[in-house]
C-alpha cells in the first residue's frame, strides 16, 4: 500500500496481473468518463492503447486504486512524453498491429471498435507544440464506487510529486472535450487549457510542476 484513502480504498503499484483490470476500467470510463461497453465490440482494445502500455513501459509511474472489491481505478503517467511515445512506436504498437485487423479505409464503414483499430495501425503520437513546456503526462480514471471520496484529488497530487521527482517540470492531461466534469475538476487543481483543437476533438490541460 502506498496511500490509504480510507473506506477500504488504497493506492498500490500496478503489476502485469492487473492488465485485465486496467482494460476493464478503461472500457467502463472510455466514453468521456462514462461506460463505453455498449459502443465497443472488442472490450480490451481501449485498455491496450490507453492503459496497459504504462504498466509495461513506465512501471514506476503506474498505480491502481484498489478496494476490497478489486481495482476501482488507475493512475498512470510518464515524466517524458516524447521518449514514451518513441517506445510506443518501436515496441508497443508493432505487437498490437500484428494481432489486430486493420479496419476499412473508408470511415463510413467503421463499426464498433474500428476507430480503435485505426488508432493502433495509424497511431498519432505527435505532441502538440504548445505542450513543449510540459514534458510529462498522466491519466486517471475512477469507477463510480471510488468517486466523490477525495481520491481523485489525492491521486493527482501524488502523481504530480511522483513525476516531479522523476525530473518533470510540467504535466499535461488529455481530457475529452465533452467531459466537462473532469475539466472543472482539473481547474480546481491548477490546470488550465493549453491546447483546444475542436476539429480534432482534442483538449489538453496542463500545469507547471
Each residue of 154-175: pLDDT tens digit? 999 999 999 999 999 999 999 9
Spell out the domain ranges in the chain. 3-208
- CA 18, CA 23: separation in Å to the nearest integer? 9
CATH of domain 3-208: 3.40.630.30
Q: pLDDT band at residue 84, thresholds of 50, 70 and 90?
A: very high
Strand-pair category, 202-208 with 9-13? unpaired
- CA 118, CA 97: separation in Å to the nearest integer? 10
**Grid coordinates given for 47:** 485498455
pLDDT at 94: 97
Whole-prediction pTM: 0.94
CA angle in degrees (0–180, nearest 5) for 91-36-18: 45
Amino acid at each position: 500500500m502506498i496511500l490509504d484513502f480510507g473506506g477500504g480504498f488504497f493506492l498500490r503499484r500496478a503489476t502485469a496481473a492487473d492488465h485485465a483490470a486496467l482494460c476493464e476500467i478503461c472500457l467502463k470510463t472510455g466514453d468521456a468518463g462514462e461506460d463505453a461497453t455498449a459502443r465497443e465490440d472488442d472490450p480490451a482494445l481501449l485498455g491496450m492503447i490507453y492503459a496497459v502500455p504504462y504498466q509495461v513501459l513506465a512501471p514506476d509511474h503506474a498505480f491502481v486504486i484498489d478496494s476490497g472489491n478489486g481495482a476501482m481505478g488507475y493512475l498512470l503517467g510518464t515524466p517524458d512524453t516524447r521518449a514514451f511515445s518513441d517506445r510506443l512506436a518501436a515496441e508497443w504498437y508493432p505487437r498490437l498491429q500484428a494481432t489486430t485487423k486493420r479496419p476499412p479505409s473508408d470511415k463510413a464503414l467503421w463499426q464498433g471498435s474500428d476507430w480503435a483499430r485505426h488508432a493502433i495501425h495509424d497511431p498519432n503520437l505527435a505532441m502538440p507544440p504548445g505542450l513543449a513546456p510540459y514534458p510529462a503526462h498522466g491519466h486517471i480514471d475512477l469507477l463510480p464506487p471510488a468517486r466523490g471520496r477525495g481520491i481523485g484529488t489525492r491521486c493527482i497530487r501524488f502523481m504530480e510529486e511522483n513525476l516531479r521527482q522523476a525530473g518533470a517540470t510540467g504535466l499535461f492531461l488529455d481530457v475529452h472535450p465533452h467531459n466537462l466534469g473532469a475539466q472543472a475538476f482539473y481547474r480546481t487543481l491548477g490546470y488550465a487549457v493549453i491546447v483546444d483543437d475542436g476539429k480534432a476533438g482534442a483538449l489538453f490541460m496542463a500545469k507547471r510542476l
